[in-house]
Amino acid sequence: MKEIILGKSVNNLEIKGYFFGEENAFNKTLIVGGIHGVEPQSKEFCDLYVEEMKNLPFPDDAFLCIIPGINPDGLAAFTRGNANGVDLNRNFPSSTWKSTPVSGNNAYHPGSAPASEPETKIIVDLLKKYNIKKIIAIHTNHYIQFPNPPMINYDGEQSRELAEQMSVASHLPAHGDIGYPTPGSMGGYLGFDLKKISITIELDDSKKSPELYKKHSRLFEVAVLG
């Protein structure tokens, strides 16, 4: 395992990534947690995997970059958005990006332009640098405006097979529609615009991280090998 400083947040906090396996492997996966600061379990869920795997052998011909907390400012302040008040999951340069928040709710503020935020740019740059084809976003179903049950959400038919494998491993249902509009989302950008395998895991926000990890940790194995 290698720990790498990928960049810094709006408030100049380091954003760390953990690399496992060989960078020239064909099977490349990016896992991102902590996109919303009100979902700390999503970061802790990833941290538990990093801690468990850091001294263990990694599967052959596989490469994983995992970013437990892409939004450290939001996590520190317990806010959905980053220090600029931008919802990173509405800030990606997708064909659906809109300059105004969904339903006028500033909790979903998309930023001044697509990929305007340093945290978003880190992910966009990683995708280009390593030609990653498979991206998993870890969330919890923290209620803001549009409630949804825990699930495995996938973007695009190319993502369905892996989503169904993860559904079997986690006992969470797989759905191709999260049930509400997400203009500028990471999943939409990756799955529909770039045609990459794009999965969003929505875990139960009412559970603590160790319980979630004990119940769903096999998701990481399926994500890496799938």
Q: Is residue 192 part of a domain?
A: yes
Residues 17-67: tens digit of each pLDDT? 999 999 999 999 999 999 999 999 999 999 999 999 999 999 989 999 999
Quick one: CA dihedral 93, 94, 99, 104, positive or negative?
Answer: negative
Q: Is residue 225 part of a domain?
A: no
Q: Is residue 106 part of a domain?
A: yes
Q: Is residue 181 part of a domain?
A: yes
**Using the 8-state DSSP alphabet, how is residue 159 labeled?**
G
Mean residue pLDDT of the chain comes to 96
Please give the residue range of the domain that contains residue 198: 2-205
The average pLDDT across 101-122 equals 94
Q: Is residue 214 part of a domain?
A: no
Judged by DSSP in three states, 152 sits in strand
10 Å Cβ neighbour count for 124?
Answer: 16
pTM: 0.97
Q: Is residue 219 part of a domain?
A: no
Instruction: Say if residues 84 and 117 touch (Cβ distance below 8 Å).
Output: yes
CATH number at residue 181: 3.40.630.10
Domain count, the chain: 1
Q: Per residue, what are the HEC states of 80-143?
A: CCCCCCCCHHHCCCCCCCCCCCHHHCHHHCCCCCCCCCHHHHHHHHHHHHHCCCEEEEEEECCC
Q: Is residue 213 part of a domain?
A: no
28-41 exposure pattern, b = at least 16 Cβ within 10 A, e = fewer: bbbbbbbbbbbbbb
Task: Provide, rounded to the nearest whole percent, the portion of the chain with pLDDT above 70.
Answer: 99
Q: Is residue 149 part of a domain?
A: yes
What pLDDT does residue 103 have?
78
